[in-house]
């Protein structure tokens, strides 16, 4: 077992032990370490070199990762965040430990356990997801010497770097593409559109201002493509309920929608299942889900990629370079390549050229400031 594996395994076990003493969660730590290591193996063969280097000199930084509910393996938000840490591990020689809360109430516990740890002493604690903001506002105040980074929300504290995204800009492109496709006859992979559809769908996870940014941008893009297309919306209340996602999407497909876009984490897996069963299409989120969920690649037209990995990597890099900007808010949109619409691995080449040309034109217009995309409903 190399140093990286050893650090993760013992570190997470230590966190679980602390959690048990403080009345917090104590399960899942062994699985966490295993999942992280298997993900690293998929990224390439440089981990042994990095591990050997950090064994001699110590890691460039110790990082704690507190993921959003839904955990690793979602093929979406959390996995994207982990990729940023894995990249930093390989390229910067850092070491990181991970925690996968099962519920919102556990965020504060894991944040504090990383912050109070002395073996190792964490240089940065990453809080992944807007639902961690309330807990982090308290934790950051309790541990003023600890640096934190937060994804998807803002905590106004001198020791917190907040990273937010312009999800509405990327979602606008997804809505435009969906609107242009649903009003024509189109078949590819296992899905098809009928050309006479007047609706597309949006499935959200927890109803919140953040997820409504996805919805607002998507609806604006749909309207730009065709004023005759409506958007059916359903919030399932969870980022980790594929059954609810499937039920919501199935109802939309049965009501005439050809394409459903989700911003619902692992709940979106159910949207893909419904698309396959109904012979329709879906749009993924956060990562290229035609790659991370390859069994559904024949119905995933595109994904609205959100570069959470870039935010995590940049935050870690700033700590390694002794340039961490606590109290800052970094916003990443189309112009900064913080969000993007990427076409499906199997279906992208089948999309009509006139549709992709319009999407490209819209992207350029948004970056130039000629098209303003609403971020609220």
Is pLDDT of 316 > 90?
Answer: yes
Q: What's this model's pTM, rounded to 2 decimal places? A: 0.82
Is pLDDT of 3 > 50?
Answer: no
Is pLDDT of 366 > 70?
Answer: yes
Taking residues 62-76, report their average pLDDT.
94
User: pLDDT: is 7 or 201 the higher one?
Assistant: 201
Domains of the chain, each with CATH number or no CATH: 3-165+308-332 (3.40.50.2300), 168-305+347-368 (3.40.50.2300)
3-state secondary structure the chain: CCHHHHHHHHHHHHHHHHHHHHCCCCCCHHHHHHHHHHHHHHHCCCHHHHHHHHHHHCCCCEEEEECCCCCCCCCCHHHHHHHHHHHHHHHHCCEEEEECCCCHHHHHHHHHHHHHCCCCCCCEEEEECHHHHHHHHHHHHHCCCCCEEEECCCCCCCCEEEEEECHHHHHHHHHHHHHHHHCCEEEECCEEEECCCCEEEEEECCCCHHHHHHHHHHHHHHHHHCCCCEEEEEECCCCCCHHHHHHHHHHHHHCCCCEEEEECHHHHHHHHHHHHHHCCEEEEEECCHHHHCHHHCCCEEEEEEECHHHHHHHHHHHHHCCCCCCCCEEEECCCCCCEEEEECCCCHHHCCHHHHHHHHHHHHHHHHCCCCCCCCC
pLDDT tens across 85-140, in order? 999 999 999 999 999 999 999 999 999 999 999 999 999 999 999 999 999 999 99
């Amino acid at each position: 077992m190399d140093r990286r594996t050893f650090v993760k395994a013992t570190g997470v076990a230590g966190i679980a032990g602390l959690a048990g003493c403080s009345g917090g969660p104590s399960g899942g730590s062994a699985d966490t370490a295993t999942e992280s290591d298997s993900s690293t193996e998929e990224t390439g063969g440089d981990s042994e070199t990095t591990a050997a280097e950090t064994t001699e000199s110590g890691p460039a930084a110790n990082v704690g990762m507190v993921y959003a509910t839904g955990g690793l393996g979602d093929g979406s938000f959390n996995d994207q965040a982990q990729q940023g840490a894995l990249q930093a591990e390989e390229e910067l020689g850092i070491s990181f430990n991970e925690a996968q809360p099962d519920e919102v109430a556990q965020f504060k516990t894991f944040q504090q356990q990383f912050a109070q740890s002395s073996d190792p002493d964490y240089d940065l604690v990453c809080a992944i997801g807007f639902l961690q903001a309330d807990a982090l506002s308290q934790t950051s105040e309790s541990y003023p010497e600890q640096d934190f980074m937060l994804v998807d929300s803002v905590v106004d504290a001198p020791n917190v770097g907040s990273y937010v995204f312009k999800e509405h800009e990327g979602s606008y492109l997804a809505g435009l593409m969906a609107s242009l496709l649903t009003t024509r006859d189109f078949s590819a992979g296992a899905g098809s559109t009928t050309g006479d559809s007047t609706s597309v769908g949006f499935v959200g996870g927890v109803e919140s201002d953040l997820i409504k940014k996805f919805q607002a941008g998507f609806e604006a893009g749909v309207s730009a493509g065709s004023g005759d297309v409506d958007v059916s919306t359903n919030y399932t209340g969870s980022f980790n309920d594929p059954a609810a996602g499937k039920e919501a999407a199935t109802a939309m497909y049965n009501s005439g929608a050809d394409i459903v876009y989700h911003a619902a984490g692992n709940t979106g897996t159910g949207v893909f299942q419904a698309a396959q069963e109904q012979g329709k299409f879906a749009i993924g989120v956060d990562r290229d889900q035609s790659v991370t969920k390859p069994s559904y690649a024949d119905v995933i037209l595109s994904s609205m990629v959100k570069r959470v990995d870039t935010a995590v990597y940049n935050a870690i890099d700033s700590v390694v370079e002794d340039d961490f900007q606590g109290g800052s808010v970094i916003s990443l949109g189309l112009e900064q390549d913080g969000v993007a619409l990427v076409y499906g691995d199997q279906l992208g080449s089948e999309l009509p050229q006139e549709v992709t040309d319009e999407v490209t034109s819209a992207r350029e217009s948004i970056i130039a400031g000629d098209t303003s995309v609403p971020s609220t409903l």
